Amino acid sequence: MPSTIFGAGRRRARYGFDAPGIMLKLLAAGASGLAVGAGLFLLAEGRLVLLAGVLVAASLVPLCLGLSMLVYGLLGKHRVRDHMIGLIAWRGDEQVLDIGTGRGLLLIGAAKRLGRRGQATGIDVWRSEDLSDNSLDRLAENVGLEGVEDNVALLTQDARQLSFPDASFDVVLSLFCIHNIESKAEQRQACREIARVLKPGGRVLVGEWLPTHAYAEAFREAGLRVNASRSHFLTALALMWMVDAEKPRVPAGT
Ligand SMILES: C[S@@+](CC[C@H](N)C(=O)[O-])C[C@H]1O[C@@H](n2cnc3c(N)ncnc32)[C@H](O)[C@@H]1O
């Protein structure tokens, strides 16, 4: 009997691990420090026991951070996607933009909520250090596996300079992308671009591992109304903040 009847052998879309190099370094540093510290603790005497205790305690910091990145990649990112997608009251005809889509976590989540008249566009510059196995090919494969080809457009494009006309999108999403832009001024530029391409009445959700208050401020300066900018640690099971904002239908001050 074909294995596909039971679903066995059917490949699933996978969305990768964020910053895989940093995650592996944290896990390796934490685990080796813990092993050396524990060994020293068992074998040593006198002051060396104190040193072993300090080493064990210090190793717990990178170990916990690495483990939280691992748990986020295995579990948390699916919870965050479901939370973010669930915040939008979908009609099905929306134009959606996912900035720094990577392997399509939010893009595909949004595309599944769209009908024939809706479209989700994913843009990225495919940096390998930001996401494991990060490429346009891997994203296209996930789009195919999830069966959303008809509602999706994929483009190589930088968040700082979007090619879309003003007021193109009903929903703009972005997860763990904008902090990868090194300069704060250019991060603000990416926020201004988001505000520019958002339609009046449109909604933006930007998730990050650091507090999102500076993005909230940039959105306010660009005329958006900020609904919230707060931690979502319990959803992500890792460090995460999100700013939720919308573009007023009537510009502020008129
Ligand atoms: C940590 S990954 C997150 C990917 C996806 N949003 C997710 O949550 O699975 C960050 C993504 O942002 C992309 N990125 C980094 N700088 C960018 C830029 N200036 N413009 C567009 N994408 C960028 C990276 O290539 C990477 O795919």
> The domain that contains 167 carries what CATH number?
3.40.50.150
Q: Are residues 198 and 103 in the same domain?
A: yes
Confirm whether 13 is domain-assigned: no
Residue 158, ligand 1, Cβ within 6 A:
yes
Determine contact, residues 154/103, Cβ cutoff 8 Å. Answer: no
Q: Are residues 127 and 215 in the same domain?
A: yes
Cβ neighbors of 82 (< 8 A, separation 6 or more) are: 109
Q: Which atom of ligand 1 is nearest to the CA of 159?
A: 20
Measured CA angle at 30 (ends 38, 65), to 5 deg = 135
Tell me what the mean pLDDT of segment 146-174 comes to: 98
Query: Helix, strand or coil for residue 98?
Result: strand
Residue 15, ligand 1, Cβ within 6 A:
yes
pLDDT category of residue 41 using cuts at 50, 70 and 90:
confident
Q: Are residues 149 and 64 in the same domain?
A: no
Tens-place pLDDT, residues 168-193? 999 999 999 999 999 999 999 999 99
Confirm whether 44 is domain-assigned: yes
Q: Are residues 159 and 192 in the same domain?
A: yes
Number of domains in the chain: 2
Domain hosting 68: range is 20-76
Measured CA to CA in angstroms, residue 31 lies from 38, 41, 43, 59, 173 at distances of 10, 15, 18, 7, 35
Residue 208, ligand 1, Cβ within 6 A:
no
Query: Exposed/middle/buried for 115, CB within 10 Å: 0-12, 13-18, 19+?
Result: exposed
Q: Of 44 and 21, which is predicted with more confidence?
A: 21
Q: Which atom of ligand 1 is nearest to the CA of 134?
A: 27
Structure tokens at 7: 């679903």
Distance from residue 115's CA to the centre of ligand 1 (Å): 26
Compute CA 226 distance to the chain's CA centroid, rounded to the nearest angstrom.
20
Confirm whether 68 is domain-assigned: yes
Q: Are residues 70 and 169 in the same domain?
A: no
Q: Are residues 207 and 114 in the same domain?
A: yes
Query: Helix, strand or coil for residue 113?
Result: coil
Confirm whether 8 is domain-assigned: no
Q: Are residues 190 and 128 in the same domain?
A: yes
Q: Are residues 33 and 94 in the same domain?
A: no
Confirm whether 254 is domain-assigned: no
Q: Are residues 238 and 163 in the same domain?
A: yes
pLDDT score of 90 more than 70: yes
Query: Exposed/middle/buried for 46, CB within 10 Å: 0-12, 13-18, 19+?
Result: exposed
The whole-angstrom separation of Cα 19 and Cα 2 is: 38
Q: Are residues 46 and 122 in the same domain?
A: no
What phi, psi does 228 have (nearest 5°)?
A: -165, 155
Distance from residue 134's CA to the centre of ligand 1 (Å): 9
Confirm whether 7 is domain-assigned: no
